[in-house]
Amino acid sequence: MVADGATILHADLDAFYASVEQLLDPSLRGQAIAVGGGVVLAASYEAKRYGVRGGMAGRRARELCPHLRFVGGHFAEYQRLGDQVIDIMRDFTPLVERISIDEAFLDVAGSIHLFGSPRTMAIEIRRRTRLEAGLPVSVGIARTKHLAKIASQVAKPDGLIVVEPDHELDFLHPLPVELMWGVGPVTQARLAEQGITTIGELAAIPGRSLEHLLGRGVGTKLGSLAWNQDPRAIETTHRAGSVGAQSALGRKEISTELIRMTLRHLADRVATRLRAKERAGKTVTVRVRFAEMQSVTRSITLPAAISATPILAEVGYSLVTTALRDHPQERVITLLAISVSHLVFEAALQLELPIDIGEEKQRPGTTAGAARWALDRSVDGVRERFGRKSVGYASVALSETGAVPDEFRELAEKDG
Ligand SMILES: [Mg+2]
């Protein structure tokens, strides 16, 4: 059911991980910071101004912004604050569809008689999020999910945009095509080759030509979205499913090298299976078993679905590091496992998305993320022909930037 009025809200916390780090450590406020190390997981607005983006290699980010500060991720705090903001939204409607740790759709049609107009509710959600969680959130309001999401991206940072039903196409068509859901660097570049840079230009292409250009599924979908045809309703239940791999290690002394190597291998197995199923996932979980059979798990839900080996390995490494930090007395591990859940099916679209897509307005036609994606794909192709052992990721060194976030450094010191 598509709403008659503009009653779908898309609320998206601004530069979420980086905003939390700046909230926790006031000395980081106003600074160009990146969460991550080998791969940038999130960047503050101050860093984005230099072109630093989520999903980018840490080395590249340093080139763009030499004074960039890398900070370790406080994953438990992200989860806690993300949950707190979702709870604020649930005060307004039970129809909340959380699509990542920092982002949700709300259907407020049934709440207007209780709280006032959707705009009034959005103002109150933004006020309470700032007051109670200390974080900026942008909100877009429209008749469809796709348009609400675009409106929130246009509203960033720290803004609110309402698209009334009689202004939908006036609002939508002048916007750059990369704001559309599912248009990543690869699709954007393919469209640009045809001279298509705005959503209006895309809307003007006959459906047949679009399918020819982008493939049937993607072409049809984008053609509809360009005319704001998006029948998707708010979904409050998630699809099940996960892909995982584990490695029994015997009894091994904990070391950075052991954990990096093992995770890279496991991430590669999981990512290859995800891509073979044309899926990507948002939630990454690791399990670490120590010598005395004690197991601990750590989990994070990311802003966008991922299926790239190096990003999965990097996220896994951050999670394992937090588990080790919480168990400083342990010296030996016997098992490492990693899994990806909250799988999405539009993998052909999702795979292109850099991690931090939520905050991005402009992306160059080729990025490290797109190159990485293409590389992963070609590696899969070679494996299909020659068997999976033929190609490895020996040359992908995630820590080669020289930027060691504090929590990683702790582990390195423990080794030393
Ligand atoms: Mg966000």
Please name the residues in contact with 276: beta carbons below 8 A apart, sequence gap of 6 or more. Answer: 380
Average pLDDT over residues 165-189: 91
pLDDT value, residue 118:
97
Amino acid in the structure at residue 394: A
More confident: 415 or 384:
384
Q: Are 227 and 205 in contact (CB under 8 A)?
A: no
For domain 167-226, which architecture applies? Orthogonal Bundle (1.10)
- How far is the centre of ligand 1, averaged over its atoms, from the C-alpha of 100 (Å)? 9
DSSP conformation letters of 286-336: EEEEETTS-EEEEEEEEEEEE--HHHHHHHHHHHHHHHHHT-TT--EEEEE
Q: Tell me which residues are annotated as active site.
A: 103
Per-residue pLDDT at 397 exceeds 50: no
Q: What is the mean pLDDT of residues 284-290?
A: 90
State percent of the chain over pLDDT 70.
Answer: 81
Quick check: 195 pLDDT over 60? yes
pLDDT of residue 399: 30
pLDDT at 257 over 90: yes
Right CATH for 8-162 from 1.10.10.10, 3.40.50.300, 3.30.70.270, 3.40.30.10: 3.30.70.270
Mean pLDDT of 30-40: 90
Rounded Cα gap, residues 96 and 50, in angstroms: 34
**What DSSP line would sit under 58-111, residue for residue?**
HHHHHHH-TT-EEE---HHHHHHHHHHHHHHHHTT-S-EEEEETTEEEEE-GGG
Distance of CA 336 from the midpoint of ligand 1 (Å): 30
Between 4 and 398, the more confident residue is 4
pLDDT exceeds 50 at position 31:
yes
What is the arithmetic mean of pLDDT over 61-77?
92
pTM greater than 0.75 (yes/no): no
Between residues 241 and 312, the one the model is more confident about: 312
pLDDT at 120 over 60: yes
Pick 90 or 347 by higher pLDDT. 90
- Give backbone dihedrals phi and psi of 240, rounded to 5 degrees, phi first: -80, 180
Distance between Cα 308 and ligand 1 center (Å):
20
Q: How far is the CA of 153 from the centre of ligand 1 (A)?
A: 9
- In the predicted model, what is the mean pLDDT of residues 302-322? 86
How far does residue 101's CA lie from ligand 1's centre (Å)? 8
pLDDT band at residue 35 using 50, 70 and 90 as cut-offs: very high
> Mean pLDDT throughout 30-47?
92
Residue spans of the domains in the chain: they are 8-162, 167-226, 242-344
- Residue 400: the pLDDT is 28
Query: For the chain, first and last CA: distance in Å?
Result: 60
Q: pLDDT-based confidence at 235, cuts 50/70/90? A: confident
Return the percentage of the chain with pLDDT > 90, whole number: 52
Alpha-carbon span 265 to 253, nearest angstrom: 18
Mean pLDDT for the chain?
81
149-160 residue pLDDT tens: 999 999 999 999
pLDDT in tens, 334-377: 999 999 988 876 434 433 334 332 333 333 333 444 444 445 55
Write down the pLDDT at residue 200. Answer: 97
User: Is the predicted pLDDT of residue 407 greater than 50, yes or no?
Assistant: no
Exposure string for 50-61, b = 16+ CB within 10 A, e = fewer: bbbbbbbbbebb
pLDDT at position 217 is 83
Residue 363 CB: number of other CB atoms within 10 A?
A: 21
Using the mean position of ligand 1's atoms as its centre, give its distance from the Cα of residue 105 in Å: 12
CATH T-level fold of 242-344? Dna Ligase; domain 1 (3.30.1490)
**Distance from the alpha carbon of residue 407 to the mean position of ligand 1, in angstroms:** 23
Residue 100 confidence class, pLDDT cut points 50, 70, 90: confident
For the cut 80, the answer to whether the pLDDT of residue 379 exceeds it is no
Structure confidence at residue 38 as a pLDDT band (50, 70, 90):
confident
Residues lining ion ligand 1 (Cβ < 5 A) are 12-13, 16, 102, 358
CA 224 distance to own-chain centroid: 24
The pLDDT assigned to 85 comes to: 96
- Residue 160: helix, strand or coil by DSSP? strand
pLDDT at 305: 80
At 5 the pLDDT is: 92
> In this predicted model, what pLDDT tens digit does every residue of 121-176 receive, in sequence order?
999 999 999 999 999 999 999 999 999 999 999 999 999 999 999 999 999 999 99
Q: What is the DSSP string of 358-375?
A: GG-S---SS-HHHHHHHH
| Whether the predicted pLDDT of 287 surpasses 80 | yes
203-225 pLDDT, tens per residue? Answer: 999 989 999 998 888 899 999 99
Distance CA 81, CA 102 (A): 9
Position 143 scores a pLDDT of 96
Q: Specify the range with the lowest mean pLDDT, choosing from 17-21, 139-143, 323-327.
A: 323-327
Measuring CA to CA, how many Å separate 147 from each of 165, 175, 237, 360, 381? 10, 11, 22, 16, 36
Q: 358: CA distance to ligand 1 center in Å?
A: 5
With a CB cutoff of 8 Å and minimum separation 6, the contacts of 412 are 256, 404
